[in-house]
Amino acid sequence: MIKPGSKDKWPRAKLARAMLLYAGGHHSFVIDAYTRRIFHRHGWCKAEAGYDDLQALCEIALGEKPAAGRLDYWQDYHAQLVIVGKHFCRARNPLCSQCPLKPLLPRECSGAAE
């Protein structure tokens, strides 16, 4: 398994995790740019949070009921983060006012990249 130590290794780790989650049927959460950006903007992690920190945060949350043991919950959670990241919490020109996660923002969206 790839254990990334720096951001430049994130793409390889993301690919490995995606293969484990979607093709391999393993409970291994994918951390990507969308996840980082959404979590940072909502105050759920610090900008400098590492891959392992973010993965642990997601896997702890998904380890609780009703998601525990339900692979489809893990896959759906990641897919929904991708949709929010692509269409609302974009790196440039985010649409915070239209975002379905807007009620969870601790402050007004600055639109700043991670």
Q: Are 17 and 30 in contact (CB under 8 A)?
A: yes
Domain count for the chain, please give it. Answer: 1
Q: How far apart are CA 82 and CA 79, in angstroms?
A: 5
Evaluate whether residue 66 is within a structural domain: yes
- Confidence class of residue 74 from pLDDT cuts 50, 70 and 90? confident
Evaluate whether residue 37 is within a structural domain: yes
Evaluate whether residue 1 is within a structural domain: no
Evaluate whether residue 113 is within a structural domain: no
Range of the domain at 75: 7-104
Q: How far apart are CA 73 and CA 64, in angstroms?
A: 11
Closest CA to 36 of 60, 55, 62: 55
Evaluate whether residue 63 is within a structural domain: yes
Evaluate whether residue 110 is within a structural domain: no
Closest CA to 35 of 82, 3, 71, 101: 82
pLDDT above 90 coverage of the chain, percent: 25
Between 25 and 31, name the one with better pLDDT.
31
- Confidence class of residue 112 from pLDDT cuts 50, 70 and 90? low
Query: For residue 22, what is the domain's CATH number?
Result: 1.10.1670.10
pLDDT tops 80 at residue 88: yes
